[in-house]
Structure 1
Amino acid sequence: MTTREPDTQAEATGPLETFRRFFALERDVLVLSLAMFAFSLGFQMTNRFLPEYLVALGASGFVVGLFGTVGNIISAVYPYPGGAISDRIGSRYSLTLFGLVSTLGFVVWLLAPDLGALSVAGVTIRPWLWLFVGLLLAQAWKSFGLGATFAVVKQATDPSRLAAGFASTETFRRTAFLVGPVLAAVLIGLHPAFTVSFRYVLAVAVGFGVVGTLAQHFLYDASEDTIGDSFAGVGEIRRDLREMPAALRPLLVGDTLVRFANGMVYVFFVLVVTQLYEVGLEATVSVAGFSYALDLSPAAFFGYLLGVEMLIALLVMAPAAKVAERVGLKPVVALGFAVYAVFPIVLINAPATWGAMALVFAFSGVRFAGLPSHKALIVGPAERGAGGRVTGTYYLLRNTVVIPSAALGGYLWEFVNPELAFTIAAAIGLVGTGYFLVFGEEFEAYA
């Protein structure tokens, strides 16, 4: 791989410059990013707190792991048909449909405590089971719409600028990842009972889902959509698997191992803070001569930790995408993989103090440096009109293998100990990172 020479006039990088360029993007990418912002607010206000919600409704640690595994199944099953639907009917209508279904999922989560324990054919349905039902719906925009979002960016971006294109949309979307958990933390602090305060969060998420769906349906310009062939069934899946660009295979193997490792422990991050360490924040802050007393519960404090994580992510994504234009995508992707891999062992061995937790989650934010380059490396080799299907195929393979990871992590968490679960996860992640470093290939436009 040859190193790219810097441009004669270096472009500014960073989140502010990315926002400036963001509003100069093609209209379809702009509207897509606005919808991403709305749905990401909804997801990030709710998703990272759902394990705590499950436990509050009576679920065990093992059930939390099963919840993560169901999420993995959805992530594996949804993207391929979602990509096929997007390639067939266009991004506008597919994303509108997926948005409506996701919003309905937020509603189910909101109503779960009211549904209570029901008896159907002699089988008692516990309140926490409704969270599984809501998950099947709420993941629709994120997972069904994955191929559509990749295809929209690809068709509007020059190949050599794919990482920058994804960085622009991702930076805007990840701003919601910063705002969402912090807003959730504020709402959670309004009532001492988590099952009450978290429903405030869910109600706001429903509103964001409605806004995102309407925005993408009425503002998106579908005139530039590329429509692929109709879906021909399981045989077409086999054909797409065979015809996946060869350059993606080493990336797929390394990525799968890293994601399997992350999947083992991801749903337990909130429980480490709220139950294992029980770390909140009690402090007095002085500003302009006025003193403010902070008394954050562990659940509320976790929201602010996620805000710290996303603040670092916003600061590093755009510069990392610019670096990728000079050194290639592979080194930047490998950096993100490495942080993914070691984070579990860093978290489980950190001191149980608010300062240590803030530093640990700030470190976690560095993993997002590789995200735009990772997406560019996935969709870059795809032919025009097939971006959604190639993306769907990639995630079908990766997420199918990752399916049992959360259940495995849940078993170790519940029946062995959390430390072993997090240590095994870190080891698997490091193997995946090493494999990609040795065998991973560069996308031609960045070579």
Structure 2
Amino acid sequence: MAESDTPGALTYFRQFFALERDVFVLSVAMFAFSLGFQMTGRYMGEYIVALGGTSVVVGLYGSFGNLIGAVYPYPGGAVSDRIGSRTALTLFGFASAVGFALWLFAEQLAVGPIPAWAWIFAGLVFAQAWKSFGLGATFAIVKQSVSTDQLATGFASTETFRRVAFLVGPLVAAGLVAAYGFDLGFRYVIAVAFGAALVATVAQYVLYESEDDSFGKEFAGVSQIRADLASLPAPLRPLLVGDTLVRFANGMVYVFAVLVVTRELQTTATLFGVFLAPEALFGVFLAVEMAVALLTMVPVAKLTQRSGLVPVVGLGFLVYSVFPVLLVNAPDGGLDIAGIALSEAVVVGAIWAFSGLRFAGLPAHKALIVGPAEKDAGGRVTGSYYLVRNAITIPSAAVGGWLYSTGGLTLASLDLSGPQLAFTVATVVGLLGTGYFLVRGEEFGPYA
């Protein structure tokens, strides 16, 4: 490939309107649902507390999300292989729209002994459908569309559109929360997410050409699950071990990041003359994280053709692991470096920018998962992988919530609060997974 043909940060946007019809529809749907997930999901800890829940409830919510993440991908992958990825994604999209609606009306649905926050759990059962049930379907479409030596670049294309939504979503959320306060503003955020999901579902139903799908074999029950798990390609096994530890660590802190910013650090800032309370500033931090992800994802994916997949995936794991301990220990009042005073908001923002580097390894990670799969089994291989990983990480948020809610711990004359304890343990677990993968990880053939 000539230097002038090398993809840059805007290449995939220039190609967007030249995409084949179904890939175009998939990209639009991915943008819409990702917009909804990112606008709402990262704020759920704060929303649950606002509805009367405690940090323990937040942890249970996170573990419930892990349970759904473990249960959904395998049957979703099997369904997509059987009825076609396009049809499956349309059905899953409708379910997600229902979930957003339940979140929106959670307070109105609270009757009798059922608290409002309980409907957040019920809504998650539906809202997670396109993201988790449809995981294998989206992987399979990319698998069907690109050559094996271009998988990382192919995933970088879809991830670019998804991460643009992850950039726009938090900014919209921050604007609504800043304008209307958290209680009303976040309900407007959920309403926008519901509208985006509904539009994307209708677009998929009307525009997909499902006859272009390839189909796998019929699902044969539990025996097939055992067979698929036993036959996972060899390169996936060390990846699965390392990834599981890193994701367990991430699960311990994911739903609590908003609480650290809004209730522990209580970071505020004035941006362009507008005062941003911690809840609004959190959305800005998420946007900064996604901006870094977008700037680095495509060039790093291209780099994998020279460096291989393992070093890039390892880099992502390392950032995942270190981020929690950096965030929870962000210096109160900012830093002074070489006579330059950095406010607390700038320092915390820089930590979130560092977190964005973890997404640079995501296309390589996905390529390493689906690359070794047979052509018409991409959905089931992906589902099998995530079934194992997510099943093991189910209790991670509950463990994090328990540590978070404790009075802390004194260790070697170091006093750790509950949040510091939870986030520090998460970093230790993540580093163990990162080290294991870097030592034992195997390259996928075309990248070796």
Normalised to the residue count of structure 1, the TM-score between the two structures is 0.94
Where in structure 2 are the equivalents of 1:14-413 lying within 5 Å? 14-116=8-110, 118-119=111-112, 124-192=113-181, 194-282=182-270, 285=272, 293-352=273-332, 353-413=344-404
Q: CA deviation at 1:30?
A: 2.4
- Classify the secondary structure of the residue corresponding to 1:189: helix
Q: Which runs of 4+ in 1 moved over 6 A?
A: none
Q: Structure 1: any 5+ residue segments left out of the alignment?
A: 1-6, 286-292
Structure 1 residues 120-175: Cα deviation after superposition (integer angstroms, max 9, x where no partner): xxxx1111111000011100000000000000000000100000000001001100
Structure 1 residues 197-227: Cα deviation after superposition (integer angstroms, max 9, x where no partner): 1111111111000111112222222233111
Counterparts of 2:311 and 2:247, CA distance in 1: 18
Counterparts of 2:11 and 2:314, CA distance in 1: 25
Q: Give the letter for the 1:307 counterpart.
A: A
Structure 1 residues 28-47: Cα deviation after superposition (integer angstroms, max 9, x where no partner): 32221110000011111111
Partner of 1:290: none
Counterparts of 1:385 and 1:217, CA distance in 2: 23
Partner of 1:4: none
C-alpha contact (below 8 Å) 1:339/1:366 kept by paired residues = yes
Q: CA deviation at 1:427?
A: 0.6
C-alpha contact (below 8 Å) 1:26/1:156 kept by paired residues = no
What is the number of residues matched between the two proteins? 427
Structure 1 residues 6-34: Cα deviation after superposition (integer angstroms, max 9, x where no partner): x4435344321232234444433222111
Counterparts of 1:82 and 1:306, CA distance in 2: 29
C-alpha contact (below 8 Å) 1:311/1:365 kept by paired residues = yes
Counterparts of 1:72 and 1:216, CA distance in 2: 27
Counterparts of 1:317 and 1:32, CA distance in 2: 19
Partner of 1:421: 422
- Classify the secondary structure of the residue corresponding to 2:331: coil
Q: CA deviation at 1:191?
A: 1.5
Counterparts of 1:16 and 1:302, CA distance in 2: 27
C-alpha contact (below 8 Å) 1:58/1:128 kept by paired residues = yes
C-alpha contact (below 8 Å) 1:164/1:321 kept by paired residues = yes
Counterparts of 1:195 and 1:63, CA distance in 2: 19
Counterparts of 2:327 and 2:265, CA distance in 1: 11
Q: CA deviation at 1:110?
A: 0.2
RMSD: 1.2
Normalised to the residue count of structure 2, the TM-score between the two structures is 0.93
Counterparts of 2:133 and 2:55, CA distance in 1: 28
Q: CA deviation at 1:190?
A: 2.2
Partner of 1:433: 434
C-alpha contact (below 8 Å) 1:18/1:318 kept by paired residues = no
